[in-house]
Structure 1
Amino acid sequence: MANKFNFDRVLRNFKGVDLSLDIANVAKNDFLGNFRAQGFGGNPWQDVKRRTDPTKKQISDGSSTRAILQGKRSGKLRKDVANSVMTGRKNSKLSYTLVVENPYAGYLNEGTPNMVKRQFVGTTIALNNKILKKIDQKLKNIWAT
């Protein structure tokens, strides 16, 4: 009767599961999605002056059409978010800290008196649902194998 559910195998599978990296990748991909959507949590970022200022002469360098947080064609902030899992640190099997090594990431994410807040990293209901889905998937794998 004790082996009917094969708890030894389930326990062994559970001990081998490390959710922290999986959850970190789900979060990173969600944050990168904010760059593609040019907004956070379904709310678009405020447009930039290079697109909306009628006094500025429209030049053909792409500045009036490129993405809001793109910068001058480098995409450094987005790339730093993409590398945040590699530069981050594992705290436990269930916790991972993403690190965005960019000096102005915090200013953009939180805003300043002189800079508009354009949040790209943070917790949303959609992100929580994605994380819960990943955890559910991992738990099903523990019981299935």
Structure 2
Amino acid sequence: MKGIRELWARWTGSAHGRRRTVVDPDDPELEVVVESFDETEAASAALARATRWQPDLPAVLRHHLALPDERLEAARALLTADGWQLRPGGRGRGEGLIPLVALRVQKLDALHCSQETSRMAGLAQRHDGRSFGWDALQPG
């Protein structure tokens, strides 16, 4: 029985009194802690200048996109398979394009931000849309 408790504590992050922090993407208390809307800026540079980002806590990573209406469901299916939500809104603009955010709760680091930025740019291009950049939210 002890082994099961240890596994559970490790999985939930509750070993030694630590609890896994759960972030709700709809929490009104979330604040933007880092953003990068310059495609030439490395994610590591954006994170390095972020004074309010807490690297040990999960964040809501949001990619701002704009896609044509007829391509939304195809893009949504691809994103949903990897745990992303596609929602209306964001900074994306373009003639005949719908502004959207693709968001997911995850631990934030430069490698994953870079990978996901590249992925979102490719997804937008394949679906006749545009990618504008990303931001991340954490509890204030």
TM range, smaller chain: under 0.3
Relative to total residues, which structure has the larger helix share, 1 or 2?
A: 1
Relative to total residues, which structure has the larger strand share, 1 or 2?
A: 2
TM-score by length of 1: 0.26
TM-score by length of 2: 0.26
